């Protein structure tokens, strides 16, 4: 396996880094404080091909690989992990339609998603079913050429935006995974409402709300795939989503480490710069090593997913666990390097710590990642 990036991959990563430095990083603290959802900047990212990174080119996608996507999401997260993570969610929704939708569905929805005329949200989690996603209870009952939806989805990123678009997992049949189907619910559908914008520890630059369905009528033509196939689609989407959120953790942690190193080059104690103390040098070395180990393994898992390897799900679970745990720990250690200044918002590290904490929970908790790996080992 060659771990050297090609010229094209280097250019892709540098493009995303330039965008993060110019359009995301200068605004990240303000967006966090104001709880501002930067839709205009997201559409600028879309104009650069980042709304459909691994969506096919015939509908306006970029047609890139999962490894390319990992490079992009890590680069964007150096500016703001929260913004990068929302782009990951949007990409996952677009990919699901691209891979499992009909040609009519692809032509109808994907061009506007590629431009981010509509911002896509993924609706799987419910108040009573988080890790146990197969137990979801939002029900869709067939009524002629429509489904009637009732139920509630919880912790939905991007929900309630005026330009919304929801990929929703619903129960159309029996209990368990075989009774789950996938529906697209477009913004403005009657019977769809939203909970309050949740007050959160981090991820403040994107809204998080409950999505509530009360006799919402959705055309049968909006179903992706056949009835009963939704859970399979959801799990397939999560393989890539786990890589993406791992990459976001690495980008945020790298930014925190860079901030800490810059501070230590300037700050003096006991007559020496902080970066001249061997104990702190060793700590910096360990932090950098942990990120490189996680990054290298994430690339391996992304390559396995690109190759459709039978080990891909296991490797993606491993990579997500390693990258999100390492990313949070490195960011937290970077905060410690700044002492009291690290605890102040103006230095930017405490925001990164807050943003990265949820990465150990979403796209499947890291406890569930261990369960996936263990089941692959013991059968």
Please, what are the domains in the chain? 7-118 (1.10.540.10), 120-228 (2.40.110.10), 231-378 (1.20.140.10)
- Whole-angstrom Cα distance, residue 94 to residue 70? 16
First-residue to last-residue Cα distance in the chain: 28
Catalytic residue of the set 41, 74, 227, 363:
363
> Is 363 a known active-site residue?
yes
Residue 377: both structure tokens together: 């080992």
Phi-psi region of 268 (alpha: psi -120 to 50; beta: other; left: phi over 0): beta
Residues of the chain by 3-state class (helix, strand, coil), percent to 5 = 60, 15, 25
pLDDT of residue 1: 64
- In three-state secondary structure terms, 134 is helix
pLDDT of residue 15: 98
The residue whose two tokens read 């860079």 is 258
Q: Residue-wise pLDDT tens for the chain (379 aa)?
A: 677 899 999 999 999 999 999 999 999 999 999 999 999 999 999 999 999 999 999 999 999 999 999 999 999 999 999 999 999 999 999 999 999 999 999 999 999 999 999 999 999 999 998 888 889 999 999 999 999 999 999 999 999 976 689 999 999 999 999 999 999 999 899 999 999 999 999 999 999 999 999 999 999 999 999 999 999 999 999 999 999 999 999 999 999 999 999 999 999 999 999 999 999 999 999 999 999 999 999 999 999 999 999 999 999 999 999 999 999 999 999 999 999 999 999 999 999 999 999 999 999 999 999 999 999 999 7
If one counts every other C-beta atom within 10 angstroms of the C-beta of residue 110, the result is 23
Backbone angles phi, psi at 257, to 5 degrees: -65, -45
- What is the bridge-based pairing of β-strands 119-123 and 164-171? parallel
């Amino acid at each position: 396996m060659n771990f050297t990036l090609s010229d094209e991959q280097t250019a892709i990563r540098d493009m995303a880094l330039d965008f993060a430095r110019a359009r995301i990083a200068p605004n990240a603290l303000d967006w966090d404080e104001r709880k501002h959802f930067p839709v205009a900047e997201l559409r600028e990212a879309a104009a650069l091909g980042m709304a459909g990174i691994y969506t096919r080119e015939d509908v306006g996608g970029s047609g890139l690989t999962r490894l390319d996507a990992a490079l992009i999401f890590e680069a964007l997260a150096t500016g703001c992990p929260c913004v990068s993570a929302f782009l990951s969610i949007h990409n996952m929704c677009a990919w699901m339609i691209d891979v499992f939708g009909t040609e009519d569905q692809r032509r109808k929805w994907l061009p506007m998603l590629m431009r981010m005329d509509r911002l896509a949200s993924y609706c799987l989690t419910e108040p009573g079913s988080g890790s146990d996603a197969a137990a979801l209870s939002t029900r869709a009952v067939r009524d002629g050429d429509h489904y009637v939806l009732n139920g509630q989805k919880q912790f939905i990123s991007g929900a309630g935006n005026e330009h919304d678009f929801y990929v929703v997992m619903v129960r159309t049949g029996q209990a368990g995974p075989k009774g789950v189907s996938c529906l697209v619910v477009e913004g403005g559908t009657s019977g769809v409402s939203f909970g309050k914008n949740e007050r959160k520890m981090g991820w403040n630059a994107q809204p998080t709300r409950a999505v509530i369905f009360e006799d919402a009528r959705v055309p049968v033509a909006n179903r992706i795939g056949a009835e009963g196939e939704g859970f399979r689609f959801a799990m397939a989407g999560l393989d890539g989503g786990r890589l993406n959120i791992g990459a976001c953790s690495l980008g945020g942690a790298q930014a925190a480490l860079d901030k800490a190193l810059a501070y230590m080059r300037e700050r003096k104690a006991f007559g020496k710069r902080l970066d001249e103390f061997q104990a702190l040098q060793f700590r910096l070395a360990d932090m950098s090593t942990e990120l490189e180990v996680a990054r290298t393994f994430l690339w391996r898992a992304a390559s396995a997913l690109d190759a459709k390897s039978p080990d891909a799900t296991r490797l993606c679970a491993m990579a997500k666990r390693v990258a999100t745990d390492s990313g949070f720990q490195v960011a937290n250690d970077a905060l410690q390097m700044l002492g009291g200044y690290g605890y102040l918002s103006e230095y930017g590290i405490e925001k990164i710590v807050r943003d990265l904490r949820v990465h150990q929970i979403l796209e499947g908790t890291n406890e569930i990642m261990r369960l996936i790996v263990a089941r692959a080992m013991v059968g």
